[in-house]
Amino acid sequence: MLSVRGLVKSYGPKQVLQGVDLDLEAGESLVVIGGSGTGKSVLLRCILGLEAADAGAILWQGAPLAGQRARFMDGFGMLFQHAALFDSLPVWRNVAFRLLRDMPRARARAIAIEKLARVGLGPEVADLYPAALSGGMRKRAGLARAIAADPRVIFFDEPTTGLDPIRAATINDLIRGIVDETGASAITITHDMSSVRAIADRVALLDRGRMRWQGSVAQMDSAEDGYLRDFVAGRARPMARGLP
């Protein structure tokens, strides 16, 4: 469905992505893990078109994404790390932002309230501004915005960052539930292993700009790769090994 081939991205002399290959199948939930500064977010930004890659290709249903960017953009949703809700708009207009282009205001508002309910937020939240929401509520409102237009692919960037364990588990359950219900594909970027276990059909480990390992959660737990084992167990590694 979505394929990344040989993606390279540098900032000055630092090559952040060094030829990344990745495939996302239809209906699959892929979680990309990796330490801080290993290029996870840059990979996501390149796929979304927020950054231009220096080399490599991104294919959407077998054809280069560059030639069908507008169609692709209309078919995906994105949950940002800190939700990135628009401060100047009430919550329902944030959720309905894309819908308001194509349908009457009343219909878009009704869908927004329905999506807010799906993520556990009541209609009383709809007319509040993002500044009045807690971190967990903002994240859920961001999730409602990501699924508002019934996307075929949903991207999640560090979905549990900054949340307490209970709220993090709630967000993980919502993501898994939404992926299962809608049949959408999902790519999640995280270094939170509880998210990995709750969300992933398949796990990919990015290390220093290269895809180091890919497999299922069960395979991850029995993998021989030392770095992966340390990452999963949260064990410290000597700085000499080049951890950023």
Partner 1 sequence: MNPVRLTGRAAIGLARMVGRVAIFAGRGLARAGAHPSELARQVLHIGWLSLPVVGLTALFTGAALALQIHSGGERFQASDVVPAIVAIGMVRELGPVLGGLMVAARVASAIAAELGTMRVTEQIDALVTLSTDPVGWLVSPRLWAAILCVPVLVGVGDVIGIMGGWLIGVNVLGFNSAVYIANSWAFLEGWDVVSGLIKGAAFGLIVALSGCWFGMTTGGGAAGVGRATTSAVVAASVGILAANFVLTGLFF
> Which residues form the interface with partner 1 (CB under 8 A)?
45, 48-50, 70, 73-74, 76-78, 80-82, 84-88, 97-98, 101, 145
**Smallest distance from the beta carbon of 98 to partner 1, in angstroms?**
5
Check: CB of residue 157 under 8 Å from CB of residue 189: yes
Q: Which residue number, 48 or 217, has a Cβ lying nearer to partner 1?
A: 48
Q: Which residue number, 85 or 228, has a Cβ lying nearer to partner 1?
A: 85
**Smallest distance from the beta carbon of 231 to partner 1, in angstroms?**
26
**Smallest distance from the beta carbon of 223 to partner 1, in angstroms?**
33
CA angle 224, 226, 232 (to 5 degrees): 95
First to last CA, the chain: 32
- Give how far Cα 159 sits from Cα of 18, 74, 79, 105, 124, Å: 25, 21, 7, 29, 24
| Three-class DSSP category at 231 | helix
Structure tokens at 8: 């390279």
Q: Which residue number, 98 or 118, has a Cβ lying nearer to partner 1?
A: 98
Q: Which residue number, 77 or 159, has a Cβ lying nearer to partner 1?
A: 77
| CA-wise closest residue to 29 among 217, 186, 169, 182 | 186
**Smallest distance from the beta carbon of 67 to partner 1, in angstroms?**
16
Q: Which residue number, 129 or 225, has a Cβ lying nearer to partner 1?
A: 129
| Strand 29-33 with 202-207, pairing | parallel
Q: Which residue number, 52 or 240, has a Cβ lying nearer to partner 1?
A: 52
Pairwise CA distance, residues 238 & 115, whole Å: 46
DSSP 65-114: GGGGHHHHHTTEEEE-TT----TTS-HHHHHTTTGGGTS-HHHHHHHHHH
**Smallest distance from the beta carbon of 85 to partner 1, in angstroms?**
8
**Smallest distance from the beta carbon of 75 to partner 1, in angstroms?**
10
